[in-house]
């Protein structure tokens, strides 16, 4: 009993001691020595991650893709720890769907997407992309001539809808098989002495051979057994308007599709009609196979390499494609047909990069977009793409500088004049539903050019002025 009492006393004393300790003022814990104010920002910056920007590319052959990827690697090296660009391989046919679905979903797509100028204006008007103006300093604007910026400007609010990478025109040229011309005793055209359309067709007849070696126009020539065609170009719903308009506008000195007296229309004058009709008639001349209707670029280039076509009309991007796919094939280039009195006109615009609507890092994305336009960077991009750089200073930088094939383009630019076609929201519909299909009928011989031109004029008024 005494033991239990003693234990009770001890417990009581312990409780009193604990209560007293809890009521006493706590002893302050020792504090760490204060750090200098400059140390905190340094620790914070060390923990920051670089802004990640995705770049959706429409490069579509090895040289174009490798050139773009090389630039991404270079940019990431120069901006290490600040901006990281991730390359995303896209496809021309997927562009509209890719951007539209991303906007509808509120993101989930790349900050940067490549497109063409007219399409970029359309994307901006639909609210799919952002205005680049807030990031366009005077220094960056100087990377491209004003006409090219104007072609990338929204007509509604003056927004800059894309940067500039490459221009498509004036890049058409004649690629030829030197062995074929030498065997026929034909001297190629030069920048100082280009062929006229008549000279091209006459030389093409000498180069068109049947299985027995007879050429077009010679007695006994078998038109049903041709083994070597003198001249071939793509005659499909795209190229009949894209390439044909280029030559006709060069003769006219102004765009065919334009607005006059407040009305949009197809304004093809007599001189433009003459060259347009000539451009569409190589099948009727017998120098191009009927199979050229709907011919794709890959098939055309294969014909050329196989010796079935002596001369082909192609843009400059055929250079890297042929080198990629047929490294042992020897070919040369000469200017496209050029009649006396013509001027080399080329349209402002081309291709570039847009800033998509839901981009999380627009400033960093713009940094990459304008960095690409600097001459030493754009030369890599445009050369790999086989197209004229939007910043023409890139032509004076390797790998352009030492490539003599590009001397033809330089000769064009010495006398070329630039024009801008105002944006029309209904042009694509007119082009795809009326212009292309109707001109293909002329090329195939089912419509005369006069008949086709009348249809095109009537439909242009209806569609373009909606």
The pLDDT of residue 223 is: 94
Q: For residue range 53-96, what is the model confidence (pLDDT) as tens digits?
A: 999 999 999 999 999 999 999 999 999 999 999 999 999 999 99
Instruction: Name the CATH superfamily housing domain 173-347+422-464.
Output: Periplasmic binding protein-like II (3.40.190.10)
Which tokens is 215 given?
A: 């050429």
For 119-276, where are the E strands, in sequence order? 166-167, 173-176, 209-210, 226-232, 257-260, 263-266
Residues 6+ apart with CB under 8 A from 265: 257, 258, 259, 457, 460, 461, 464
If one compares 363 and 36, the residue with the highest pLDDT of the two is 363
Domain ranges of the chain: 49-169+349-413, 173-347+422-464
For range 306-329, the mean pLDDT: 94
The pLDDT of residue 19 is: 35
If one compares 276 and 42, the residue with the highest pLDDT of the two is 276
Q: For residue range 172-200, what is the model confidence (pLDDT) as tens digits?
A: 899 999 999 999 999 999 988 999 999 99
Minimal CA–CA distance to 397: which of 389, 405, 409, 386? 389
Q: For residue range 260-297, what is the model confidence (pLDDT) as tens digits?
A: 999 999 999 999 999 999 999 999 999 999 999 999 99
> What is d(CA 199, CA 45) in angstroms, rounded to the nearest whole number?
68
CATH architecture of 49-169+349-413: 3-Layer(aba) Sandwich (3.40)
Q: For residue range 400-429, what is the model confidence (pLDDT) as tens digits?
A: 999 988 888 888 888 788 877 778 999 999
> What is d(CA 34, CA 216) in angstroms, rounded to the nearest whole number?
95
> What is d(CA 366, CA 83) in angstroms, rounded to the nearest whole number?
11
Same fold, 49-169+349-413 and 173-347+422-464: yes
Q: Quote the pTM value.
A: 0.77
Phi, psi of 390 (to 5 degrees): -65, -35
> What is d(CA 175, CA 230) in angstroms, rounded to the nearest whole number?
12
Q: How confident is the model at residue 170 (pLDDT cuts 50, 70, 90)?
A: low
């Amino acid at each position: 009993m005494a033991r239990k009492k003693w234990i009770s006393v001890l417990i009581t004393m312990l409780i009193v001691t604990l209560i007293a300790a809890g009521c006493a003022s706590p002893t302050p814990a020792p504090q760490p020595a204060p750090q200098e104010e400059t140390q905190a920002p340094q620790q914070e910056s060390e923990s920051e991650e670089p802004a990640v920007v995705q770049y959706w590319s429409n490069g579509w052959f090895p040289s174009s893709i490798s050139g773009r990827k090389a630039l991404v690697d270079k940019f990431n090296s120069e901006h290490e720890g600040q901006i990281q660009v991730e390359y995303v391989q896209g496809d021309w046919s997927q562009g509209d769907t890719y951007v539209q679905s991303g906007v509808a979903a509120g993101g989930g797509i790349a900050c940067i997407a490549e497109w063409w100028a007219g399409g970029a204006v359309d994307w901006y008007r639909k609210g799919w992309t952002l205005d680049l103006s807030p990031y366009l300093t005077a220094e960056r604007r100087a990377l491209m001539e004003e006409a090219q910026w104007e072609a990338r400007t929204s007509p509604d609010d003056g927004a800059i809808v894309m940067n500039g990478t490459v221009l498509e025109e004036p890049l058409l040229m004649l690629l030829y098989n030197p062995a074929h011309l030498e065997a026929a005793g034909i001297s190629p055209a030069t920048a100082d002495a280009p062929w006229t359309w008549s000279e091209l067709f006459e030389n093409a007849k000498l180069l068109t051979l049947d299985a027995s070696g007879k050429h077009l126009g010679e007695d006994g020539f078998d038109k049903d057994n041709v083994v070597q065609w003198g001249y071939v170009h793509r005659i499909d719903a795209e190229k009949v308007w894209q390439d044909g308009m280029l030559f006709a506008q060069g003769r006219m000195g102004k765009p065919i599709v334009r607005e006059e007296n407040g009305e949009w229309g197809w304004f093809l004058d007599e001189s433009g009609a003459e060259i347009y009709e000539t451009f569409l008639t190589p099948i009727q001349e017998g120098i191009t196979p009927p199979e050229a209707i709907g011919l794709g670029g890959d098939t055309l280039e294969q014909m050329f390499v196989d010796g079935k076509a002596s001369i082909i009309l192609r843009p400059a991007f055929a250079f890297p494609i042929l080198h990629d796919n047929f490294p042992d094939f020897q070919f040369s280039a000469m200017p496209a047909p050029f009649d006396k009195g013509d001027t080399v006109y080329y349209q402002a615009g081309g291709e570039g990069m847009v800033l998509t609507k839901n981009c999380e890092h627009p400033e960093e994305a713009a940094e990459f977009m304008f960095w690409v336009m600097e001459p030493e960077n754009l030369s890599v991009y445009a050369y790999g793409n086989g197209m004229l750089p939007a910043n023409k200073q890139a032509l004076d930088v390797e790998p352009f500088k030492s490539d003599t094939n590009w001397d033809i383009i330089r000769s064009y630019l010495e006398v070329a004049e630039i024009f801008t076609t105002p944006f029309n929201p209904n042009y694509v519909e007119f082009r795809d539903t009326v212009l292309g299909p109707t001109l293909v009928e002329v090329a195939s011989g089912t419509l005369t050019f006069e008949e086709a031109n009348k249809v095109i004029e009537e439909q242009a008024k209806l569609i373009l002025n909606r």
